[in-house]
C-alpha cells in the first residue's frame, strides 16, 4: 500500500522500508466444540436465512466465497459447487469479484448431504424475478449480504443458542476442518477442500 502511495506521489517515502516483521511462533485456531456446534445448528434451523451458517460449517467455504456463490456455479446433478468468484466490499459497497482470494482458491467442492439439502432448499425458494444477481444466499432485499450485517446476525444467533463463549463466523471454517481431522480425514484432502496453496499451510494451522 505504501509502495503504491509513493508511486502515485501521495507520500515521498515508504515508511516501511528498513522495518522487519516480528516472527510469530504458531497461531491459535479456535473451532466450535461438538456441543456448541449442535446448539448453534439447532438455532439456525429455525430461520430460513440462517442456513448459510450451517452451509459454512458443512463446506468450509470462506464467507466471501459463500456470499458470492451464484447459481451458475452450482451443479445439482453432480452435487458440487465451483469456487471461482467472491463477494468483496469496497468502501462498504458489496460487489462480485470475478476471481477468488488466491489461485489455489479456484476449486470444485463436493456437497455433503447437509450442504446439498440447503442448496436444494435455496433453489426451491429462489425468486428468479427479483434475484437479479443470481445469488444463492441473497439478502431480504435480494442484494448481497454484507459481512457487517452477517456478523450481527451471527452474534444474535450465537447468543440465542446459549453459547456463552465469544465465537466468530470464521470459526465455522475451522470447525469444518477440525471435524474432518477428528474423523481421520487426511490433511492433503482437507487442504484441497479449504483452498490452501500448500499442505504445509494446513499443517501449520491445524
| Number of independent structural domains in the chain | 1
Please indicate, yes or no, if residue 3 is contained in any of the structural domains: no
CA angle 123, 192, 85 (to 5 degrees): 45
Q: What is the pLDDT of residues 117-145, one digit of tens each?
A: 999 999 999 999 999 999 999 999 999 99
Q: Is residue 8 part of a domain?
A: no
Residue 107 lies in a domain: yes
Q: Please compute the mean of the pLDDT values over residues 190-196 and round it to a whole number.
A: 95
Establish if 24 belongs to a structural domain: no
Mean pLDDT along residues 95-106? 92
At 117, which CATH number?
A: 1.10.443.10
24 falls in which pLDDT band (50, 70, 90)?
very low
Return phi, psi of residue 6, to 5°: -65, -45
- Look up the pTM and report it: 0.84
pLDDT above 90 covers a percentage of the chain that reads: 76
C-alpha cell at 33: 466444540
**Residues 160-183: pLDDT tens digits?**
999 999 999 999 999 999 999 999
Average pLDDT, whole number, for the chain? 92
- Say how far apart CA 54 and CA 148 lie, in whole Å: 18
Question: How many residues appear in the chain?
Answer: 206
Parent domain of 124: 31-205
Amino acid at each position: 500500500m505504501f509502495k503504491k502511495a509513493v508511486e502515485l506521489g501521495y507520500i515521498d517515502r515508504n515508511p516501511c522500508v528498513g522495518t522487519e516483521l516480528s516472527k510469530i511462533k504458531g497461531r491459535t485456531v479456535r473451532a466450535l466444540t461438538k456441543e456448541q456446534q449442535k446448539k448453534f445448528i439447532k438455532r439456525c434451523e429455525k430461520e430460513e436465512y440462517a442456513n448459510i451458517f450451517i452451509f459454512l460449517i458443512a463446506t468450509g467455504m470462506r464467507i466471501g466465497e459463500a456470499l458470492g456463490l451464484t447459481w451458475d456455479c452450482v451443479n445439482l446433478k453432480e452435487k458440487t459447487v465451483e469456487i471461482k468468484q467472491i463477494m468483496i466490499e469496497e468502501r462498504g459497497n458489496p460487489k462480485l469479484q470475478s476471481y477468488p482470494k488466491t489461485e489455489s482458491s479456484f476449486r470444485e467442492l463436493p456437497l455433503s448431504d447437509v450442504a446439498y439439502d440447503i442448496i436444494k432448499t435455496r433453489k426451491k425458494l429462489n425468486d428468479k424475478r427479483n434475484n437479479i444477481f443470481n445469488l444463492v444466499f441473497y439478502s431480504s432485499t435480494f442484494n448481497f449480504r454484507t459481512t457487517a450485517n452477517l456478523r450481527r446476525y451471527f452474534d444474535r444467533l450465537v447468543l440465542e443458542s446459549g453459547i456463552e463463549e465469544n465465537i466468530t463466523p470464521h470459526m465455522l471454517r475451522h470447525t469444518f476442518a477440525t471435524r474432518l481431522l477428528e474423523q481421520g480425514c487426511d490433511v492433503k484432502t482437507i487442504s484441497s477442500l479449504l483452498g490452501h496453496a500448500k499442505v504445509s499451510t494446513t499443517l501449520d494451522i491445524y
